[in-house]
Amino acid sequence: MEKADVVVVGAGFGGLAAALRLAELGADVVLCETLRYPGGCASTFTRSGYQFEAGATLFSGLGDGQLFSNWNDKWDLGVRFETLDPLVELRTGQWSLAVPPDPDAFVRRFAELPGANPEALRSFFATQRGVANALWKLFEDPALLPPLSATAVLRHLGRSLSYAPVVRWMGRPLSDVVSSHGLAGWEPLRVYLDAVSQITVQASSTEAEAPFAMAAVDYFFRGTGHVHGGIGSLAWALTEAIDRAGGRVSLANRVRSLRRESGAWQVDTRNGELRAQTVVANVLPQSLAGMAGPEVNGALPDVEAAVESGWGAAMLYLAIDADAVGGPDAKHLQLVDDQTAPFIEGNHVFCSISAADEHKRAPAGQRTTTISTHVPMQKLRNLEPEDQGVYIADIQNRMRETISRRAPELLAHAKFQMTASPRTFARFTGRHLGYVGGVPRRVGWKHYRPRALWPREAAPGLYLVGDSVLLGQSTLAVALGGVRTAEAIANA
Ligand SMILES: Cc1cc2nc3c(=O)[nH]c(=O)nc-3n(C[C@H](O)[C@H](O)[C@H](O)COP(=O)(O)OP(=O)(O)OC[C@H]3O[C@@H](n4cnc5c(N)ncnc54)[C@H](O)[C@@H]3O)c2cc1C
C-alpha cells in the first residue's frame, strides 16, 4: 500500500490549488482525479475535433501579483493570460454595455446610458469598491482568515477602519445599497447587478448578501481575462507544477471510499489503496458522505443544505464560423431576453467565444462557443423523471431564442451543436445531482459564523475544499480556498 502525507480527492481548481500549495510547503501529496483530464467544471474537453470549455470561461486572478499569475511565474508554466477589452458585453433589448477593463472607464461608460445620474452612480460604485477592496485583501491573504496568529490579529486591528463599510451592509441585500444611493428606480443598474450577481454569488441583487455581492461585482476588474487555449491549459500546467514541487498527480483514478483506521485514512482508489494522515476532498459534501460513510454522515448539514438551495446548468456548445465574430480576441456576451423576468432558465445566458488564434480548439475558420444558463434544481427535482428531460430541453430552446434575438450571429453561423444538462455534470464531474456553480450567497448572518469562515473539517484530518465552502463560487475563489486550507493543514 502506498503512503502519503495528504491525499487530495478531485483535480478541480480547489483540489489543484490545495495540492500545489501542500507540495510547495513540503508535504508528500497525491492528487487523485476520476477523469483523464484536470479542471472539473473549469476544464477543456475534446469532442468531434473541437475543444470546448466545460463550464467556466472568464477568469480572475490572472493579473500581476495575483494567485494564478504568481504560480505562472514561479513555476514557469508558460500559460498565456490575455486581457480583453471589452471584458464582457451585456446586451438587453433596450441597451447594451461593453465593460472595459478599467473600473473608472466602466463607471463613465455606464453613466452615459439613458436616464443615468452620474453623481449617484459614481458614489454607488465608490461604496461597492471600498467593500470589495477590504474583502479581497482578506480573501487573498491566507494568514488573515482565520486569524490563527497574534500577528494576524494585529494586522486585522490595523485594518479595522476599512472594515466599517463592510459591517454596515452585513445581513442586508445588495439592493439596499442601491436604494441608499437613490438609484432604486434606475433599471440599467438593477439589470447589470442582477446579471453579475447571478453568475457570481448565484442570487439576484434583491436576494444577495451585500458585502459578498459587492466583492463579486468587482469580478471583471480583478485581473480578469482569457486563458489562451482554454482554462484546461492552466489546469494541466498546475498538474505539472504539482509534479515539479514533489507531489504526484494520478488521473483516471477515482476515489471509491475513505475509511479511518488507526488514526489515519485508508483511501480506496481505482488504482489501489493509499494511506494518509490527512485527506482533502474537493467534492460536494453529499459526495463526501457517499465516500466516507458513517465517518462524516451529517457532519456538514449546513453545507449540504446550502448546496441543495443552489443551481444546475444547462449548456449549449457551438462551433461557429470565425467570420461571424468581430475581432480576433476571445469574446464574452451576457444576453438578457426579458429584463423583467428572472435571469435564469434561458432568459439570461453567458456566451464565451474562443479567440481566432486558438488553432487547436477548432478547425481553421471556426471558433468554439460555450453557453450556459441557470437551472433551479429544486424545480427540476420536483418533476417526474420523464418530465425532467422535457424541462431541460425547453430551457435549451429558450437559450436558443435568447441568442437568436440578442446575438443572432452565433446561431446563424453554427457548424456544430451539442447540449449538456445537470445530468451531464453529475456524470462527468461526479457533482451530486449536477449541482454546480457554488452555493448561493443569499442574504443572512450565517455567512459570518466562525464555522463558515474556518477551513471545514468533516472528520479528524478530513477537509472539504471547493465551491461549497469558503471562498466558493469561482475558479479563483475555490483556488484561494484550497490554498487557505493547505496552509491550515501545514500549520496544524
Ligand atoms: C456553467 C458554469 C459556468 C461557470 N463560469 C465561471 C466563470 O466564467 N468563471 C469562474 O471563475 N467560475 C465559473 N464557474 C464556477 C467554477 O467553474 C467553479 O466554481 C469551480 O470550477 C469549482 O471548482 P471545484 O474545485 O470546487 O469543483 P469541480 O470543478 O467540480 O472539481 C471537482 C473535481 O473532483 C473530481 N472528482 C469527483 N469525484 C471524484 C472521486 N470520487 N475521485 C476522484 N475525483 C473525483 C471531478 O471529476 C472534478 O474534477 C462556472 C461554473 C459553471 C458550472
pLDDT value at residue 148: 67
Q: Do 326 and 409 reside in the same domain of the chain?
A: yes
Q: Which atom of ligand 1 is nearest to the CA of 32?
A: 43
> Within 10 Å of residue 117's Cβ, how many Cβ atoms?
15
C-alpha 408 – ligand 1 centre gap (Å): 30
Amino acid at 307: V
Q: Do 301 and 316 reside in the same domain of the chain?
A: no
Tell me if 58 CB under 6 Å of ligand 1.
Answer: yes
What integer is the mean pLDDT of 16-40? 98
Nearest C-alpha neighbor of 336 from the set 328, 345, 327? 345
- Residue 454 main-chain phi, psi, to 5 deg: -85, 155
Q: Do 328 and 424 reside in the same domain of the chain?
A: yes
Residue 193 has pLDDT above 90, yes or no: yes
Residue 434 has pLDDT above 90, yes or no: yes
Q: Is residue 223 part of a domain?
A: no
What integer is the mean pLDDT of 209-228? 95
C-alpha 430 – ligand 1 centre gap (Å): 10
Q: Do 296 and 355 reside in the same domain of the chain?
A: no
> CATH code at 23?
3.50.50.60
Q: Do 239 and 146 reside in the same domain of the chain?
A: no
Q: Is residue 85 part of a domain?
A: no
pLDDT value at residue 276: 98
Q: Is residue 91 part of a domain?
A: no
C-alpha 54 – ligand 1 centre gap (Å): 9
Nearest C-alpha neighbor of 455 from the set 482, 490, 477? 482
C-alpha 151 – ligand 1 centre gap (Å): 34
Among 16, 33, 41, the mutation site with the greatest number of ligand 1 atoms within 8 A of its Cβ is 41
Maximum pairwise Cα distance, the chain: 69
Q: Do 383 and 331 reside in the same domain of the chain?
A: yes
Tell me if 430 CB under 6 Å of ligand 1.
Answer: yes
- Considering the chain, what percentage of its residues have pLDDT values greater than 70? 100
pLDDT value at residue 107: 97
Q: Is residue 143 part of a domain?
A: yes
Q: Do 366 and 398 reside in the same domain of the chain?
A: yes
- Domain residues for 135? 100-216
Q: Are 282 and 8 in contact (CB under 8 A)?
A: yes
Helix ranges restricted to H, 4-149: 13-24, 67-74, 103-110, 118-140
Q: Do 150 and 235 reside in the same domain of the chain?
A: no
Q: Is residue 82 part of a domain?
A: no
Q: Do the strands 2-9 and 29-32 form a parallel or antiparallel pair, or are they unpaired?
A: parallel
Tell me if 434 CB under 6 Å of ligand 1.
Answer: no
Q: Do 345 and 415 reside in the same domain of the chain?
A: yes
pLDDT value at residue 350: 98
pLDDT value at residue 310: 97
* Domain stops at, among 162, 187, 216: 216
CA-nearest residue, atom 49 of ligand 1? 40
Tell me if 42 CB under 6 Å of ligand 1.
Answer: yes
Q: Do 316 and 425 reside in the same domain of the chain?
A: yes
Lowest-confidence pick of 45-59, 148-162, 376-390, 458-472: 148-162
The domain tally of the chain equals 3
Q: Which atom of ligand 1 is nearest to the CA of 465?
A: 26
Q: Is residue 89 part of a domain?
A: no
Q: Is residue 88 part of a domain?
A: no
* Domain stops at, among 392, 408, 429: 429
Among 53, 331, 475, the mutation site with the greatest number of ligand 1 atoms within 8 A of its Cβ is 475
Query: What pLDDT, in 10s, does the model give residues 52-65?
Result: 999 999 999 999 99
C-alpha 122 – ligand 1 centre gap (Å): 35
Q: Are 370 and 349 in contact (CB under 8 A)?
A: no
Q: Do 419 and 338 reside in the same domain of the chain?
A: yes
Tell me if 45 CB under 6 Å of ligand 1.
Answer: no
C-alpha 407 – ligand 1 centre gap (Å): 27
What integer is the mean pLDDT of 208-219? 95
Residue 298 has pLDDT above 90, yes or no: no
pLDDT value at residue 139: 84
CA-nearest residue, atom 48 of ligand 1? 40
- Residue 159 pLDDT level (bands cut at 50, 70, 90): confident
pLDDT value at residue 454: 83
Q: Is residue 369 part of a domain?
A: yes
Q: State the Cα–Cα distance between residues 442 and 21, nearest whole angstrom.
A: 31
Tell me if 54 CB under 6 Å of ligand 1.
Answer: no
pLDDT value at residue 10: 98
pLDDT value at residue 451: 81
* Domain stops at, among 179, 194, 216: 216
Q: Do 126 and 144 reside in the same domain of the chain?
A: yes
Predicted TM-score of the model (pTM): 0.96
What integer is the mean pLDDT of 248-253? 98
Q: Which three cell numbers stand for residue 222?
A: 480583478
C-alpha distances in Å from residue 225, one per residue of 42, 62, 85, 319, 355? 14, 7, 9, 21, 12
> CATH code at 362?
3.30.70
